[in-house]
Chains A and B, each alone.
Chain A
């Protein structure tokens, strides 16, 4: 096996080490391929398919975040077929998910001229924000199932395994086991999931409250320390009566 793989991307000669993904090779050559579920800190899973490219001789479009380069490969990142595929993915997302807090995806919608009512009969994913802990909110109406949160909760970072997919097909959702409240799960509230969420489906509670128009002072009134009656310290000597 040679030390260097030669290929062309959009007609440009590229030479990279074996095992490099098409996405990484393209980025090295200064060619931008859009991504949604891809994240530098997580294992790529080719879930969202926005990064697909056309490889000459391949039957189907290839997800560039996981497909490795091959010798002599000819890659098109902006072919008509690729663009139509990306546009359809965006239109499907638009039809079911609240993308209002995903500026990068909104930009793609503009760039790819996705029509936001292409699927007028689509059923929107609707759910109320889950406010079951003091640290962060989960609003799955904004969730695009990119899987990053599950990955960082598992072997890509935290090894805590508090969340995973539940349900099948359209019903698929990120959930704790049996949908138990987060504090009852194995969650350690590290918030790695919040850190990688691309759509605002996971959000620190203080940010959520601030966006609802609460002032910092009002937010601080919600702490347990403020809520409970001010019981002042008991002298430790009292303990010695026993």
Chain B
């Protein structure tokens, strides 16, 4: 269902014509980009047609007499998928409407609204219902969402394909297929929809950053010029960067590793990067903060009271619930970091696992990073899609360290021979922390900063 008080966003939803004939529905996902189902625009040759006609009706939303906007739109190269049944077109003329907000988060049994131009009323009507399944098998491009219409059988939905499936004001999917009776009406009200995350992930693979989840949040742009100076850890950084810039459905980065494997360096460097991008950060290191109270004081100190409220006099357990409510109303990108998780007190562990994790979909702006020799079990999360679990190992690749040295000490001539020498002299067994210490000694020697006569 739409959010109470919000109008159906008709100005951002278009009736699609192919060769002058009404074929389906599409909606804006960026100021001039529209997505629809692939099968809506599939030509006789099995390929997507290159040009379609669009008709937007802003008056249906604003009721102020605005004229309809008609424009052609051209298929974006490589931005379509037969497998996931979507295709993206660029409008020749801007429809002057807000793109719909996309979200990767959706739960079963939530009510939805799907405005489109099905045969029931080609002038535009909405079907409503609930999300019956998040994991419906599909011959290609599955799994997909299974939807149950409130109106059950007999609704003429041909022409509604490609319509947005809106939950709480955000698009979670686009309509794909319906079970139809011999008259073209819905049979049992069963419909399938392509999760919008397939569209976002697929498009961002081709053109990183082209689409964002929760675009009502002003996400920062990635900036490789200020990327962290760490050896290797490319996958971790790539995923982290996508999370804090709104490009990934993943929300939790778990960094697990033994002593000396560079967890805290990673935390510090990633924190600095996020800070430079303007992300608000709450951080606590459980090495020194051993009770839930001091951890929350640390969060508050680092993020400020706007983000993490102060406890009221006498407020105890309810405070920690209130923090989540408060965070849910925060609208800027936010990063919550906990380091040294193995030292987590029970009450903090419970707060994270039983309160914070299950409510992540209330906080689309939030990324959580937890590091430690142990990390929390993501039992209360859809671990496969929401969690990135990284297990830090040794870094035995010479080029990774050479690259690191060149960035860390750009004017010091540390060469391959030095790095190889250290790695192989240690039988490739140095932890990253020890490797860094030895390279730091080498650079001190090479730059003449080493004191003399100090050997044991």
Question: Do A and B make up one complex?
Answer: no
Q: Which residues of B are in contact with A by a Cβ distance under 8 Å? A: none
A interface, CB within 8 angstroms of B: none
